[in-house]
Amino acid sequence: MTDIIQLLPDHVANQIAAGEVVQRPASVVKELLENAIDAGADDIKLIIKEAGKTLVQVIDNGKGMSVTDARLSFERHATSKIKSAEDLFQLNTKGFRGEALASIAAIAHVELKTKRPDDELGTAIEIEGSVVKSQEVTVTPTGTSVAVKNLFFNIPARRNFLKSDTVELRHITDEFHRVALAHPGIAFAFYHNGSELFNVPNENYRQRVVHIFGNKTNERLVPVEEDTEVLKISGFVGKPEYSKKTRSEQFFFVNQRFIKSPYLNHAISAAFEGLLKDGYHASYFLNLTVDPKTIDINIHPTKTEIKFDDEHTLYAILRSAVKHSLGQFNIAPVLDFEQQSSFDTPYSYKDKAGKVPTIEVDRSFNPFADEGSSSGSSSSSKSTSTTTSFKTAPAANWESLYVGLESKSNTKHDNDVELSFEKEYKTETIFSDASVETSKTTFQLQQKYIVSTLKSGMLIVDQNRAHQRVLYESFLKHITIKEATSQQLLFPLQLSFTPNEMNIISGLKEDLEHTGFVFSNVKEDTITITGVPVGVPESEVSIILEQLISDVENDVPDASFSAADLLAKSMAKSLAIKNGQTLNNTEQEHLVNSLFACKEPNISPANRPTFITMSTDDIEKKFM
């Protein structure tokens, strides 16, 4: 038999390696930004076109590369960060695998321009699918510029799996946030399709957080500082009242590297215990500094997960530090054994001596004496006789008061006017009590399901999904015909969002207005709302918009994808009756009738069943 094991060609091996390194345009952004940081740059520009599908370019003013280094940087396993296996446990840099540029060059068109500060001319290299097309001397500024064009041009299947531009841009923005927050001492600029999304200068950590997430974020931050032999913590947590339903503002940085750690996230949740509403998550921007020897960052291909030597100690320190900060800034309730100021002596009585209260008693007072006893004897006797005659007369002659009363009332005179009074009739119900009871055709089960009877058996409706379907078709109709009714707010409502969220709202502004929202002012990071759709509580407006932004960022487009459809789904999900809400009999019947008046009553907007039926035969089988 012939041998069947063979070595893979380099271009195939590079494409396989690229599948681990480059999953989407955001992966390219991450690798190029980290290389720019490792090059010592303090000014980095990120340029994106069509959410990275057409162009991803990173320009830095770092130390640049020589001609030889520029060529070797595209070879597999070529790196300047490590020289021996021991270096893997003392890493203070970002890119060290030596596969990033080689993997990117295998699946895209790459143009590299670089120059060192001491060189007069730089180097330009063009590579397509791991094949070097040209390498020549060029005039270029000090630093490095890497342009990645036509990502996945030679792997059409991978390109077809990319999401919409909105979703891919969100992933790129997330990577930009992670890198920019980890390095506040570096100036970053982010451009998409020619428009500037972010431009943050060299600044401190608080200013960097505010620049990225909006000016309103400043008042929401609570500083956290802790320095121990094992762990150093610095950064901020968000106040509980500004918590969100999404985890979009949760950042852990270990030695200036973004990580995801459910275990450490649980420590934050434990510190916020009792301060957050159900379904809401705290915001945090925390920098953790540990000894590089105590962590292993090679357990995940994207290096977003880290293995700690002593996780339990880190958990305890982190939880205590956050809880201490919340209590120190009067965010969380704490026990205070000091005397309250309200118990202090008033200022006007501060220097006065206390007086012993005195009691005066009238020893001659007799509660059983007559009223006139203090007067003369004559007045006393007169008072006594008067009182006696007044009190005894009615008691003795009370029957004489009613003598002849009946005969007088029955005697009719000519001048008397006969009065007639309208008789009070008892209002009776149209239906008897028995018929009222039998008219109740629905009842609620566990505040979640509505049960009704059918000719063939029983109907069970999920109240949340059913209401979502009713609201979805109603909102979609209003958006389509562009005739929605608004209710004006007594006081305008101002809401703050990040620049990326404002871009999403601006794109949906017209559709939101068709549903009934009225915007009076839209600024860089705030919007003013003066009207909302009928039936939408003012307290739900911010929740609706946050849910809408989250849905737009995470939506997977399909053939029927449209902004109007997504908006109707998001608003229906936010405003629908929740499970656990009690409905009276009229509301139950109205919901069931409204559901079956819809065009597609069988499924919710998320394509889940809204009701099920059980026939009499199915019920009888349960008793066999």
Which stretch, 36-45, 153-162, 531-540, has highest mean pLDDT? 36-45
Give the pLDDT confidence score for residue 399 in this predicted structure.
Answer: 61
Distance, in Å, from the CA atom of 184 to the CA atom of 44, rounded to the nearest integer, reads: 12
Number of other residues whose CB lies within 10 A of the CB of residue 614: 15
DSSP states of 373-396:
TTS-HHHHHHHHHHHHHHHHHHHH
Q: Position of tokens 């520029």?
A: 70
Mean pLDDT of 52-75: 90
Residue 244 DSSP code: B
Q: Does the pLDDT value for residue 553 go beyond 60?
A: yes
Out of 249-258, 267-276, 496-505, which region has the weakest mean confidence (pLDDT)? 496-505
Give the pLDDT confidence score for residue 491 in this predicted structure.
Answer: 87
Give the pLDDT confidence score for residue 102 in this predicted structure.
Answer: 84
Give the pLDDT confidence score for residue 387 in this predicted structure.
Answer: 43
Mean pLDDT of 590-609: 90
Mean pLDDT of 341-355: 67
Mean pLDDT of 19-33: 85
Distance, in Å, from the CA atom of 172 to the CA atom of 168, rounded to the nearest integer, reads: 6
Label residue 410 by pLDDT band (50, 70, 90): low
Domain boundaries for CATH 3.30.230.10 within the chain: 205-328
Which stretch, 512-516, 520-524, 580-584, has highest mean pLDDT? 580-584
For 350, the token pair is 């501060």
Label residue 517 by pLDDT band (50, 70, 90): confident
Q: Does the pLDDT value for residue 392 go beyond 50?
A: no
Label residue 311 by pLDDT band (50, 70, 90): confident
Residue 401 DSSP code: G
For 461, the token pair is 């409706």
Distance, in Å, from the CA atom of 556 to the CA atom of 607, rounded to the nearest integer, reads: 14
Q: Which of 275, 265, 313, 271 is nearest to 291 (CA)?
A: 313
Alpha-carbon distances of 523 from 499, 518, 527, rounded to whole Å: 10, 15, 6
CA end-to-end span of the chain, whole Å?
64
Q: Does the pLDDT value for residue 475 go beyond 90?
A: no
Q: Does the pLDDT value for residue 274 go beyond 60?
A: yes
Coil, strand or helix at 588: helix
Q: Which of 161, 66, 73, 71 is nearest to 121 (CA)?
A: 66
Q: Does the pLDDT value for residue 87 go beyond 60?
A: no
Beta-bridged to residue 451, according to DSSP, are 443, 460
Domain boundaries for CATH 3.30.1370.100 within the chain: 444-613
Residue 596 DSSP code: H
Label residue 512 by pLDDT band (50, 70, 90): confident
Q: Does the pLDDT value for residue 202 go beyond 90?
A: yes
Beta-bridged to residue 505, according to DSSP, are none
Q: Does the pLDDT value for residue 88 go beyond 80?
A: no
Domain boundaries for CATH 3.30.565.10 within the chain: 10-200
Phi-psi region of 150 (alpha: psi -120 to 50; beta: other; left: phi over 0): left
Give the pLDDT confidence score for residue 308 in this predicted structure.
Answer: 82
Beta-bridged to residue 148, according to DSSP, are 56, 110
Mean pLDDT of 44-62: 93
Question: Is the pTM above the cut of 0.75?
Answer: no
Q: Does the pLDDT value for residue 123 go beyond 60?
A: yes
pLDDT per position as a tens digit, 539-550: 888 888 887 887
Task: Pick one of 1.10.3720.10, 3.40.50.2000, 3.30.1370.100, 3.40.50.720 as the CATH number of 444-613.
Answer: 3.30.1370.100
* 565 against 430, higher pLDDT: 565
Give the pLDDT confidence score for residue 276 in this predicted structure.
Answer: 86
Distance, in Å, from the CA atom of 508 to the CA atom of 568, rounded to the nearest integer, reads: 11
Coil, strand or helix at 258: strand
For 89, the token pair is 């446990």
Which sign, positive or negative, has the C-alpha torsion 611, 612, 614, 615? positive
Task: Report yes or no: 45 and 29 within 8 Å, Cβ to Cβ.
Answer: no
Taking the CA of residue 508 as centre, how many other CA atoms within 13 Å lie in the half-sphere pointing to its CB?
A: 29
489 burial (CB, 10 Å; 0-12 / 13-18 / 19+) is middle
Number of other residues whose CB lies within 10 A of the CB of residue 51: 24
Strand order in the sheet with 232-238: 221-227, 232-238, 284-289, 250-254, 257-259
Percent of the chain clearing pLDDT 90 (strictly above): 27
Mean pLDDT of 175-182: 93
- The CA R_g of the chain, rounded to the nearest whole Å, is 40
Number of other residues whose CB lies within 10 A of the CB of residue 323: 20
Number of other residues whose CB lies within 10 A of the CB of residue 88: 14
Beta-bridged to residue 445, according to DSSP, are 449
**Torsion angles phi and psi, residue 195, rounded to 5:** -105, 145
pLDDT per position as a tens digit, 332-342: 655 555 555 56
Give the pLDDT confidence score for residue 559 in this predicted structure.
Answer: 38
Classify domain 205-328 at the CATH topology level: Ribosomal Protein S5; domain 2 (3.30.230)
Query: CATH 3.50.50.60: does it fit domain 10-200?
Result: no
Mean pLDDT of 250-256: 91
Give the pLDDT confidence score for residue 298 in this predicted structure.
Answer: 67
Label residue 436 by pLDDT band (50, 70, 90): very low
Distance, in Å, from the CA atom of 338 to the CA atom of 350, rounded to the nearest integer, reads: 20
Give the pLDDT confidence score for residue 292 in this predicted structure.
Answer: 82
